[in-house]
Amino acid sequence: MASIVTCIAPVNIAVIKYWGKRDEKLILPLNDSLSATLSTEQMHAKTTVMISPNFTKDRIWLNGKEESFENPRLVACLREIRKRATSKNGKNCELKVHICSENNFPTAAGLASSAAGYACLVYTLGKAFGVEGDLTSIARQGSGSACRSLMGGFVRWMKGTQNDGSDSIAEQVFHENHWADMRVLILVVSDSRKKVSSTSGMQLSVKTSDLLKHRVQNVVPQRTKEMIQALESKCFHTFAELTMRDSSSFHAVCLDTYPPAVYMNDVSHSIVDFVHRYNKLKGSNKVAYTFDAGPNACLFLLEEDVPEVVGLIKAVFPPHVEGKTFMRGLPVENAVIQQDMDLLLPSGPHEAGMIKYVIHTKVGSGPKTLDGKNCHLLNDEGLPKNLIS
Ligand code: DP6
């Protein structure tokens, strides 16, 4: 008898960044990291897993195209799931699987797609094979940051000290409703440059950056403690400062890498400048930026400040064509921009189209299983319903 299951999993954005591994194969990090899980309403990965005695080999389709099953990270995730299934119930674990996965947001936008993708893969495989218990140590072997997408709210990935990685797992530190008015704006920035992947960028940083050693030993441990306190007491001003400092510390390590790994571009730096000017004008931190291994900005802010900040983003970074597609996700009320906000435009607005679009979202929950036949990405024969030839 064939069985089929479909799940969705969220994107996560680190506020204390993971950068550098102590074990490349098991994907064990050099430092703890901490992230916010984003709502699956706006952005998610979706995966269908089908197990059938009729299948002759394991097969996978990503965003409508069949991929080879040779990727060692994919192989490791499936092997670990089968191992757990064998020791648990022996059921079905020798049967072959068909996997189909897609993102509902553009992979090309350079957003954290591998984290959501691997989290969804491992979560769905876990459901299909009836595996219980911690899955973060398996998801980590797909992509390090993926282990933080298995839970909602604010999640900490502990580096652990064991060589086998058994204590390098992720745990929820605060529930998704803990800070209910926290909002997120993802500013998708135009970029034509070919970027260095996180995997190879961090490998080179471990080899060549002295600053990385300092970050791992002296900066991250203290900052993680302070971040948890700021989240606990919901002190936005401190949360924002720690988030911005950690983003810059990570990009400083990238520049200290030899040859340098450059991820932020001129638009990214203009966004940094805009946020600092705005916070200064307001007299305290109202907005925090953070950048991953690409030029897109992720802004954290409170719900009450969204209309004004979005209004100013549109004025400072005018869209190519003002229309519905610039602002996506949660609705935003129109705000009357105060006169003194002109100070944010020292030399007038930037040329149009530097920010392609903005996704407005919030902190959300972990992966979910979907119900109903229509939700599956595979048909009764185990082939993708939507195939891109
Ligand atoms: C900058 O998890 O993509 O987004 O473990 O090699 O797959 P691999 O790397 P990945 O690195 C993410 C790096 C980051 C920071 C973060 O998410 O913590």
Structure tokens at 304: 């009450």
On whether the CB atoms of residues 302 and 279 are closer than 8 A, the answer is no
Whole-number pLDDT of residue 345: 64
**pLDDT higher than threshold 70 for residue 109:** no
**pLDDT higher than threshold 90 for residue 114:** no
Q: Tell me the pLDDT band of 196, cut-offs 50, 70 and 90.
A: confident
Q: Which residues are CB-neighbours of 166 under 8 A, at least 6 positions away?
A: 137, 160
**pLDDT higher than threshold 90 for residue 388:** no
On whether the CB atoms of residues 247 and 277 are closer than 8 A, the answer is no
**pLDDT higher than threshold 80 for residue 269:** yes
pLDDT in tens, 21-77: 999 999 999 999 999 999 999 999 999 999 999 999 999 999 889 999 899 999 999
Whole-number pLDDT of residue 113: 67
**pLDDT higher than threshold 90 for residue 112:** no
State the closest ligand 1 atom to the C-alpha of 16, by its place in the atom list counted from 1.
18
Name the segment(s) of the chain with CATH classification 3.30.70.890.
182-362
Handedness of CA 285, 291, 297, 299 (dihedral sign): negative
pLDDT in tens, 323-333: 668 999 999 99
**pLDDT higher than threshold 80 for residue 103:** yes
The DSSP code sequence of 48-114 is EEEEETT--S-EEEETTEEE-TT-HHHHHHHHHHHHHHHHHT-TTTTSEEEEEEEESS-GGGT-SHH
Average pLDDT over residues 331-344: 79
182-362: which CATH topology?
Answer: Alpha-Beta Plaits (3.30.70)
Greatest alpha-carbon span in the chain: 69
CA of 61 to the centre of ligand 1 (A): 23
Question: Which helix (DSSP H) or strand (DSSP E) does residue 46 occupy?
Answer: strand 45-52
Average pLDDT over residues 189-207: 87
d(CA 62, CA 40): 19
pTM: 0.96
**pLDDT higher than threshold 60 for residue 108:** no
Handedness of CA 135, 138, 144, 149 (dihedral sign): negative
Whole-number pLDDT of residue 209: 98
Pocket of ligand 1 (CB under 6 A): 14, 17-18, 27, 33, 114, 143-145, 198-199, 292-293
**pLDDT higher than threshold 60 for residue 105:** yes
Which residue has the least CA distance to atom 3 on ligand 1? 198
Q: What average pLDDT does the structure give for the chain?
A: 92
Whole-number pLDDT of residue 321: 73
Residue 371 burial (CB count, 10 A): 8
Backbone angles phi, psi at 185, to 5 degrees: -120, 125
**pLDDT higher than threshold 90 for residue 373:** no
Whole-number pLDDT of residue 217: 97
With tokens 């916070």, the residue in question is 279
d(CA 188, CA 140): 26
Question: Which helix (DSSP H) or strand (DSSP E) does residue 15 occupy?
Answer: strand 12-16
The DSSP code sequence of 259-299 is S------HHHHHHHHHHHHHHHHHTS--EEEE--SSS-EEE
Q: Which residues are CB-neighbours of 134 under 8 A, at least 6 positions away?
A: 169
pLDDT in tens, 134-187: 999 999 999 999 999 999 999 999 999 999 999 999 999 999 999 999 999 999
pLDDT in tens, 206-254: 999 999 999 999 999 999 999 999 999 999 999 999 999 999 999 999 9
Contacts 24+ apart (CB under 8 A), 273-281: 274/312, 274/313, 274/316, 274/317, 274/344, 275/244, 275/299, 277/343, 277/344, 278/309, 278/312, 278/344, 279/240, 281/340, 281/341, 281/343, 281/344
pLDDT in tens, 295-325: 999 999 999 999 999 999 998 999 987 666 8
With tokens 């229509």, the residue in question is 374
Best residue for ligand 1 mutational test, from 145, 154, 250 (most atoms within 8 Å of Cβ): 145
Average pLDDT over residues 275-289: 95
CA of 315 to the centre of ligand 1 (A): 33
d(CA 228, CA 26): 27
3-class DSSP assignment, residue 216: helix
3-179+368-375: CATH class: alpha beta
Backbone angles phi, psi at 69, to 5 degrees: -90, 25
Residue 88 burial (CB count, 10 A): 14
Average pLDDT over residues 244-268: 97
CA of 284 to the centre of ligand 1 (A): 30
Instruction: Tell me what percent of the residues of the chain surpass a pLDDT of 70.
Output: 92
Q: Tell me the pLDDT band of 107, cut-offs 50, 70 and 90.
A: low
**pLDDT higher than threshold 70 for residue 389:** no
